[in-house]
Amino acid sequence: MKIFEDKTILVTGGTGSMGKTFVRRVLSGELGTPRKVIVFSRDEGKQHEMRMSYQHKLVATDEVIYRNFMNVLEFRVGDVRDFGNVCRAVRTADIVVNAAALKQVPTCEYFPAQAVMTNCLGAANIVRAIEENGYPVGTVVSISTDKACKPVNVMGMTKSIQERIFTAANILNPKTRFIAVRYGNVLASRGSVIPLFHDQIRNGGPVTVTVADMTRFLLSLDQAIDTVFAAIKEAKPGETYVPNAPSATVLNLANALIDNREIEIKVTGIRPGEKMHEIMVSEEEANHCVKRGDYFAILPMLPELQGQESMEPNALTKEFSSADTILDLEQTKELLHRHQLLIDQVDETSSPNELLR
């Protein structure tokens, strides 16, 4: 299905780990050749680096991407917090992927008002721009997180509200489909634990682990993008797509990366706003969660958005927690090896965002 053929795609927060990989995949033409891809973010430095990465890293396998970059990729400096900025970016878009976020849990705990402005008001600005101006946007995708499920921290709370903002938007904007994807920790994304562990190991340790038995869902950037693509292809208004991802303990992640090196592991304690185990689908949501291929789809609770899908059998009988099926140490090593994230496989000159191109 060529879902991007001749479409204009806006990616807010497009210079982040997810945004960069999404843009690269779209430009590859695997799901059709887009008319235009607009990268919208407030960091001109990251935009410049992203632009230069396409110009300076052309290899034979990237010819299609490079050609598409020259023709269709556009960068716009702006902020989702600013309604005028959002209007100017959204007005020509067929598909909007909202990846702009404050996503660091401790940061959001110390600056909750900032998290609200980006994660909640930014989403509301997208809805308002479409509603007040009648922009013919076909699909809007919220990039959410497992922390939005039964949230205990500000980051999760604001992402949960963002999910609800987009779900409710379907009622007053029936010509636009508002959907969401929710996934766990993305391997080697900016600010995640694996680049931190790599740096600590290269410097001789210690490797700092918050709590040994803490578990996290794990998936690669490409698997995260696959989830977004699946939702854009199949999700109905108000649905949230969730990948069936594996999980591992933080201690096993550390031991897998350390391998046989003589490096100390230091337990530092749980950080502000952290959970011991993440939940992708709550027990309440399990009552209206169906299977869609390799994914779970959480159906909207608003009755106006419920169709025949609400009659499908539930895919889950309990909450989907990272504590349910945990990879052992060897399985964790195999997962990291498969995605070339063991420290011996990583070029020290590579940035974490290039590890999973």
SS3 342: coil
Task: Please state, in angstroms and rounded to a whole number, the distance separating the CA atoms of residues 72 and 67.
Answer: 9
In sequence order, which ranges of 173-314 are alpha helices (DSSP H)?
193-202, 221-234, 250-258
Q: In angstroms, what CA-CA distances link 313 with 26, 81, 280?
A: 34, 40, 19
Q: What are the tokens at 330?
A: 């060897």
Which of 20, 46, 147, 236 is an active site residue? 147
Task: Please state, in angstroms and rounded to a whole number, the distance separating the CA atoms of residues 323 and 192.
Answer: 20
**Helix or strand holding residue 71 (H, E):** helix 63-72
Q: What are the tokens at 225?
A: 């993008």
Which 8-state DSSP code applies to residue 30? B
Determine phi and psi for 118, rounding to 5 degrees: -80, -50
Helix, strand and coil content of the chain, in percent to the nearest 5, comes to: 45, 20, 35
Spatial contact of 205 and 145, defined as CB atoms under 8 Å apart: no
Angle, CA of 88, 221 and 139, to the nearest 5°: 35
In sequence order, which ranges of 173-324 are alpha helices (DSSP H)?
193-202, 221-234, 250-258
Which 8-state DSSP code applies to residue 96? E
Residue 46 annotated to the active site: no
AA letter at 171 = I
Hey, which residues are catalytic here? 147
